[in-house]
Structure 1
Amino acid sequence: MGLDIPQKIERKLARLNDSKNPLRRWSFELASWTASTICMGSIIAILIYMRNQPLSRWPFGLTVITVLAKIAAATLIIPTSEAIGQLKWNWFQGTASREMVDFEIFDKASRGGPWGSVMLLLRTKGKSLAAVGAILTILMLAIDTFFQQVIELPEIWSLQGKGYVPMVTQLEHQAPLYYSNGVERKETDKELATLINEFFIDNSSRPIPAGDGFQAEIPVTCSTGNCAWPLYRTLGVCSACQDVSSLLGYACISSKLDWVRNISRDPTESSYLRGNMCGYFINATGESPVMMTGYAIGPNITYTGQALVARGLPLVDSITRTTLFGGTVHFGHIRNPIEDFIVAGLQDTEAVYANRTPFAQECVLYWCVKAINSTYSLGAYKEEVVETFINSTTGPQPWNTALMEDTDEGPIYNYNYAENVSIRVPFDPEEINYGMTNETMVLTALAFDDVLPFFSTMVNSSNTPSIRLRYWNSGNIEMIPEINPWVPTNNITQHVERLATAVTNLIRSSSRTKSVSGDAFAKEVYVNVQWAWLTFPLLLLILSLLFLVSTIVRVSRADGEAGIWKNSAMPILIYSLPKDAQQALVSSGALDAGSKTKAKNTRIRLGKKTGWRVSGYTSAPATPVSQGYPPPGWI
């Protein structure tokens, strides 16, 4: 019957071991070491290919490295194990006899067991070449751990596409046309008017929190949820406020009752009813005093008991476009203000009747160019205005007004803004002109005419305050706000700043905007290679080769004493102990469980021609040993 595959392999290995060429004798071990070297080299090549690259570039790369690492570790232990096995036979050859326990220790160590390697190291006290193999065997237990530490998989933000935010260079309001008495007219921007109303009669809506920021109030496109944009510029609205309390003066005088509740303006008269009042006035001693806070007095006045707790006064009249204080107090450097107004107020009627000095601020909303840094992360949009630019050139008042007709509902004026709004950024290489036409400027300013001037009145401290807006072409509208934003307990400067931001967001949300392109990022797993962790496996690779070569040299020099048997069990079967030694050990119970001390302490020596020699016994082995090499029965 023919030999099966394992027998054929063993016969092939036996023929190699029987070779006179030392390299052929150890060709299998050298091939194993070479295989381990190839695997480690392949791992290094793969790591070079994958380092600093996303894992998605080769998802199975880690699996391949793991398999190669296992093969490298398995093939590296083979030459070391076989070398220890060969040194086992050489240990028992020579003139000195050895204890039988040494054979068991060597045998365990040669099979790659860590305990056997430790025992071999202790037994030889580190003075034998086999001790080096034992150390290598122990160290090889950690080789997998070092391979695992070579690769780190950090999550890194990587570019995944583009994100877009809107910006405006030239504003265009698309106001619908209509005709009144054959005259072409344009309506104001309804969205803008609605937004302004929310801020003047209430505290307006607040941004919706999202993550560590707020939801975007402009159309933002960010496919990954994490985007960043370079610094960009857009036309927008800015604001500023300054104290003007010094303009106020206390007085009790007769003046027009333009602030009281439920007043109706006589459409045939150009003035309001007059009455006596006390409070703080602008132009208290001038021709046209305007009460900012105060109360009506006099027994014959229907409105006695009402208190004006806050007032907003535009410095450009919303009907005639005539100016007060030249149209501004503190902000004459701003060329194209949208609205400049003074707001003054007290907390309640008690403060009004106590004649306390109200706060008074001049606030302005004006066109500007904003330089913005924008980010979008985890649903939260953030903007940082880095710098603003304005048109600060000087020139005549641009408003021109002409009375077209005086109707029963009030006079109709034709407004003209004498110039286009133009803002240029200094040292801008693109020389972009930001702004709008004069017509768009008029339509924007008219949206504020519906809310300025405004009056906040109360009858007594327990009465809910009302805010009255003057819609001069259709009477007055009185509203009850949930929160009065114009009283001292609120931050007026911050409120006006929020209004400016809201208007900026509105014009950036129109369909006639441009887009700024940014980068969209997403977290991606990258491969980071820690090359230092490969030092240990490569060092073991080199040391195992040196150990194998040293063993080959040692065995070659001792040729003729021991055969090249390595980890083979055949010599144990062939070179059996003498019969008298076997009988003595068996009869004494030395092989019983727990009673192996005598057998282990028995000293033996292996002779190539004589077989096992046992100290104290002179008989020959049971099976004669031929003079050939390898011994009879070797397969």
Structure 2
Amino acid sequence: MAELVSPVTPNPIQWQEEYIYCLVCLAAAAALVVLLSTFNGRLEPSWGDNIQLGTVLIAIMSVYRLALKAIVEACVGQGAWIWVSGFRKGKTEAKLEDFKMFDEASRGLYGALVLLWRMKASHFACVGSLITILILGFETFSSQMVTYTEVPIVFAGKASLDTHPAPAPPRSETWHNIASNGFGEKSLMLSTKAAVYNGIIASDIVPNIPVSCETANCGWPVFPSLAVCGACTESLFNTSCDSQKGCSYTMPSGTSVYDQAGVPSEHHFTVAPSNGSSTFPNENFKAVISLFDIMSSAKTPRDNTIQAYQCGLWFCLRSYNVTVTNGVVNRSVVAEWSKSDFVPRSSAHYDEYVFSDIPPRMNAKQHARYSIPSDSLRTLREFMDKLMLGNALQVTDSVIYDTDWIQAMDTATKDLSSLSGWVSRLALSLTNDIQLTGIVRSNRNSDYGGTAYIMAPRVEVNWYWVAYPVTLMVFAFLEPFTPFLRTVQKDSLISAVPTPAPSCIPLRDTMLFCHVSKTIHTQVGDGMDVPEGLNYRVGRTEIELVRKDNGEWIFTEPRYH
């Protein structure tokens, strides 16, 4: 019978490997915190062609996880050693199959769960099992420590580009898109005619003029440009009726519509150029492109609806804010100005209308001159007046239109309350053409050169996720001291307690150097020839680990029950 010897006081200095693992953990944790603190809120760094911040973080966390797992494995192994050697008098607890449970608990999820269930959280090795379970979530949670937000950064440009990688958008300081036929007559260029036709007929106009942005993300300062503004205002009209002929409705400018007596249902629509009235346009609308009246009479058996509007188009000055985000152009009007003065011809310029008293919010550069030559304005107005003249008449189901343009206007303005939308589309179509075909005086476009951006990832650290591995490290560091506290407790163990097992040898290999009593060995029989036979024969055998006089350790059945 083996005899027990005096207890051996445990010496923490024996755990040199664990200290090395702890130092590796501390170094990895320090590197992690320093790295994240350095680049938090900054652009993602790149070292070489393929090494990114994420790659470095993965490497650090891999070293961290492996070192932490090594500490936990050693601690769970020590727990198994103490669980068997810490046999209490009169109470049988340890069994041979417990070695398997501790070994699996140090290496996998299932074993860790079994240990927690068997020990009911009463053994210090349960902390190691819990850490083993939580370590499995490192890959998931470590990916949440850092997120990346795409932010624009200034694009430095290429050697082939101008000073500004984003040239100024199309804009116009003056407009003279007319040509002479050689007989002293002037006419609009084809692009402007097309813009007028398109504005009258089309149901939708592209609002954004294409801009040059090589990187798909650009921004420009607010810039002014010639544009076309438009509006409609409701007008008064006089009514004159005759029992034989019907009723006539006349605006102050002379534009009129009528409904015939004895006709139960009809629609009369008319458009005519005018010179405006005392209320429209106001005095700031000097560079007027077109003024015209629109009237309609919709007669039904029940009632007769008359609508009368004065409409106008004029040159104005608009300031725009243009950006490009992910290749999508965003264009908005910041301010608008219509006041202009007529300036007679001089040696420097033709008769023209010059915008004056431009407010600072328009961001017009000092000494910039925005003007429209009078011959350009006159030619455009004459062309518009020819189109804004005609009638549409509908009696029963038959509709007669004087021109295609009248048909388009009648169709677009069936409900004259939507007239402003149609006028806005016409003004936008003309604006696009004027800004594309207009003239910018030399060296003025560079004043509104933009900045090109590229999207780059910015590092955003979620520090609450960093607390996850750090907390596990703290618990893992505290766990190795628990065996030493357990081994020095008074009256908690039998008279001899073994020194904690040397951690340099794995738990399953350490058991190879322990003997087994003949009684237990005899119970094995042919159990090694049968699957799970060894566990079936002796796995549930209660054991006690004792040390003989010669220093050998032996598993034997407990002496106290």
| TM-score of Structure 1 vs Structure 2, range by shorter chain | 0.7 to 0.9
- Counterpart of 2:65 in structure 1 is 73
1:194-221 CA-partner distances (Å, limit 9, x unpaired) = 433555xxx322436xxxxx563x2422
- Counterpart of 1:548 in structure 2 is 480
Work out whether 1:42 is the aligned partner of 2:34.
no
Distance 1:103 1:290, change over 3 A: same
SS in 2 for 1:52: coil
SS in 2 for 1:108: helix
Return the offset for 1:555. 6.5
Tell me, yes or no, if the aligned pair for 1:344 and 1:358 is still in contact at 8 Å. no
Distance 1:128 1:194, change over 3 A: closer
1: CA distance between counterparts of 2:435 and 2:175?
11
- Counterpart of 2:264 in structure 1 is none
- Counterpart of 1:105 in structure 2 is 98
Tell me, yes or no, if the aligned pair for 1:391 and 1:423 is still in contact at 8 Å. yes
SS in 2 for 1:369: strand
Greater relative contact order (Cα < 8 A, sep 6+): 2
1: CA distance between counterparts of 2:207 and 2:315?
25
- Counterpart of 2:274 in structure 1 is 314
SS in 2 for 1:333: coil
1:218-274 CA-partner distances (Å, limit 9, x unpaired) = 24223354555454332222122222233x45389xxxxxxxxxxxxxxxxxxxxxx
Distance 1:561 1:378, change over 3 A: closer
- Counterpart of 1:509 in structure 2 is 436
Tell me, yes or no, if the aligned pair for 2:218 and 2:324 is still in contact at 8 Å. yes
2: CA distance between counterparts of 1:539 and 1:509?
64
Distance 1:559 1:617, change over 3 A: closer
2: CA distance between counterparts of 1:107 and 1:52?
48
- Counterpart of 1:456 in structure 2 is 390
Distance 1:538 1:467, change over 3 A: same
Tell me, yes or no, if the aligned pair for 1:590 and 1:598 is still in contact at 8 Å. no
Work out whether 1:142 is the aligned partner of 2:128.
no
SS in 2 for 1:171: coil
1: CA distance between counterparts of 2:52 and 2:536?
53
Q: Aligned residue pairs: how many?
A: 506
TM-score by length of 1: 0.65
Letter paired with 1:245: L
Q: Percent identity?
A: 17
Return the offset for 1:570. 6.0
Tell me, yes or no, if the aligned pair for 1:237 and 1:501 is still in contact at 8 Å. yes
Distance 1:107 1:501, change over 3 A: same
Letter paired with 1:504: T
Tell me, yes or no, if the aligned pair for 2:273 and 2:293 is still in contact at 8 Å. yes
Return the offset for 1:537. 1.2
SS in 2 for 1:374: strand
Work out whether 1:577 is the aligned partner of 2:516.
yes
Work out whether 1:222 is the aligned partner of 2:222.
no
- Counterpart of 1:436 in structure 2 is 371
Match of 2:544 among 604, 609, 617: 604
Return the offset for 1:427. 4.1
Return the offset for 1:78. 1.6
- Counterpart of 1:372 in structure 2 is 320
1:561-610 CA-partner distances (Å, limit 9, x unpaired) = 44744435566444423335533x24698997388476633332311536
Tell me, yes or no, if the aligned pair for 1:215 and 1:380 is still in contact at 8 Å. no
TM-score by length of 2: 0.72
Letter paired with 1:37: L
2: CA distance between counterparts of 1:135 and 1:102?
22
Residues 459-608 of structure 1 mapped to structure 2, 5 A cutoff: 461=395, 464-467=399-402, 481=407, 484=410, 489-490=415-416, 491-510=418-437, 512-513=439-440, 514=445, 516-518=448-450, 524-551=456-483, 561-562=498-499, 564-566=501-503, 567=506, 572-583=511-522, 585-586=523-524, 593=533, 596=536, 600-608=540-548
Query: Which stretches in structure 1 are left out of the alignment for 5+ residues?
Result: 1-19, 209-213, 253-275, 284-288, 298-306, 316-323, 401-415, 469-477, 619-635
Tell me, yes or no, if the aligned pair for 2:115 and 2:126 is still in contact at 8 Å. yes
Distance 1:167 1:96, change over 3 A: closer
1:468-489 CA-partner distances (Å, limit 9, x unpaired) = 6xxxxxxxxx978456468654
SS in 2 for 1:66: helix
2: CA distance between counterparts of 1:503 and 1:589?
97
- Counterpart of 2:195 in structure 1 is 195
- Counterpart of 2:291 in structure 1 is 341
Return the offset for 1:63. 2.9
- Counterpart of 1:204 in structure 2 is 201
Tell me, yes or no, if the aligned pair for 2:42 and 2:459 is still in contact at 8 Å. yes
Tell me, yes or no, if the aligned pair for 1:347 and 1:487 is still in contact at 8 Å. no
2: CA distance between counterparts of 1:587 and 1:356?
114
1: CA distance between counterparts of 2:251 and 2:513?
125
- Counterpart of 1:250 in structure 2 is 240
Tell me, yes or no, if the aligned pair for 1:166 and 1:509 is still in contact at 8 Å. no
Distance 1:399 1:189, change over 3 A: farther
Q: Quick check: which has more Rg, 1 or 2?
A: 1
SS in 2 for 1:89: helix
2: CA distance between counterparts of 1:382 and 1:613?
81
Letter paired with 1:578: S
Return the offset for 1:391. 1.5
Tell me, yes or no, if the aligned pair for 2:290 and 2:385 is still in contact at 8 Å. no
Tell me, yes or no, if the aligned pair for 2:226 and 2:370 is still in contact at 8 Å. yes
Tell me, yes or no, if the aligned pair for 2:287 and 2:377 is still in contact at 8 Å. no
Residues 42-191 of structure 1 mapped to structure 2, 5 A cutoff: 42-55=31-44, 57=46, 60-93=52-85, 96=88, 99=92, 101-110=94-103, 112-113=106-107, 114-121=109-116, 126-154=121-149, 156-159=150-153, 161=155, 163=166, 166=169, 168=171, 170-177=173-180, 179-180=182-183, 186-191=186-191
1:173-211 CA-partner distances (Å, limit 9, x unpaired) = 15445653xxx6654444334433555xxx322436xxx
Letter paired with 1:537: P
Distance 1:144 1:48, change over 3 A: same
Query: Which stretches in structure 2 are left out of the alignment for 5+ residues?
Result: 1-8, 156-164, 262-266, 490-494
1: CA distance between counterparts of 2:270 and 2:322?
37
